[in-house]
Amino acid sequence: MGRISDTVDDDLAGWLHAQPVFFVATAPSGPGGHVNVSPKGYDTFRVLGPTTVAYLDLTGSGIETVAHLADNGRITLLFCAFTGPPKLVRLQGSGRTVVHGDEGFAELAGRFPPMPGARAVIVAELDRIATSCGYSVPVMELVGERPTLKEWAERRGPDGVVEYWAQRNGTSIDGLPGLAGPVEAAGA
């Protein structure tokens, strides 16, 4: 059954890295805002330390996570075992965004394979690491990654991706600031 850990140990880190998909949840402060849950795939997750994790944030149609983190910093990452023994892991804490072009982005992004359209690295300092049973999560077979997002970013090119950020990632669905101001071209 479930347990709470103070740190992400080597065994848990290996299990987290082996999962092909994880989910990120954030919410704005105050009443009436929309809770956001986003699936994440590709090789975009890393354990940086015993209580620090990060993921490479790829270009998408929304900017909710970035906006919510700027608003209040709260973040939860959920990992599910879809193969093998049932297991859920929730990583909860405070997140920050290191945007493409910011100091530190290149070093953090260098921990991941090059990805066209990478717009930020989300870094989370964990204050709760919890496992639970996951008995109701179905067993599923991974067929493969979808190439669509990579192909989309490659077709647009670095300048086209930056243009997309300006058009579609400036504010969240609740009107919170997202990617603000000029951002340099998004190389792979």
Is 126 among the domain residues? yes
Q: Is the pLDDT of residue 178 over 60?
A: yes
Q: Count how many domains the chain has.
A: 1
32 compared with 154, residue with greater pLDDT: 154
Backbone phi, psi, residue 183, to 5°: -125, 140
Strands 36-40 and 118-132: unpaired
Is residue 183 pLDDT above 80, yes or no? Answer: no
- Residue 114 in any domain: the answer is yes
Residue 180 in any domain: the answer is: no
Query: What's the mean per-residue pLDDT of the chain?
Result: 94
CA dist., res. 45 & res. 166, Å (int): 26
**pTM (predicted TM-score):** 0.94
> Amino acid identity, residue 150?
K
Give the pLDDT mean for 48-70: 97
Q: Is 54 among the domain residues?
A: yes
Which structural domain range is residue 110 located in?
3-168
Q: For residue 188, what pLDDT is reported?
A: 44
Query: Within a domain: residue 184?
Result: no
How far is it, in rounded angstroms, from Cα 90 to Cα 131? 6
The answer to whether position 86 is within a domain reads: yes
Give 59's DSSP letter. P
Q: Is residue 125 part of a domain?
A: yes
State the SS3 of 51-114. Answer: CEEEEEEECCCCCHHHHHHHHCCEEEEEEECCCCCCCEEEEEEEEEEEECCCCCHHHHHCCCCC
Q: Is the pLDDT of residue 181 over 90?
A: no
pLDDT band at 145 (very low <50, low <70, confident <90, very high): very high
What CATH number has the domain bearing residue 144?
2.30.110.10
Is residue 41 included in any domain, yes or no? yes
pLDDT of residue 177: 94
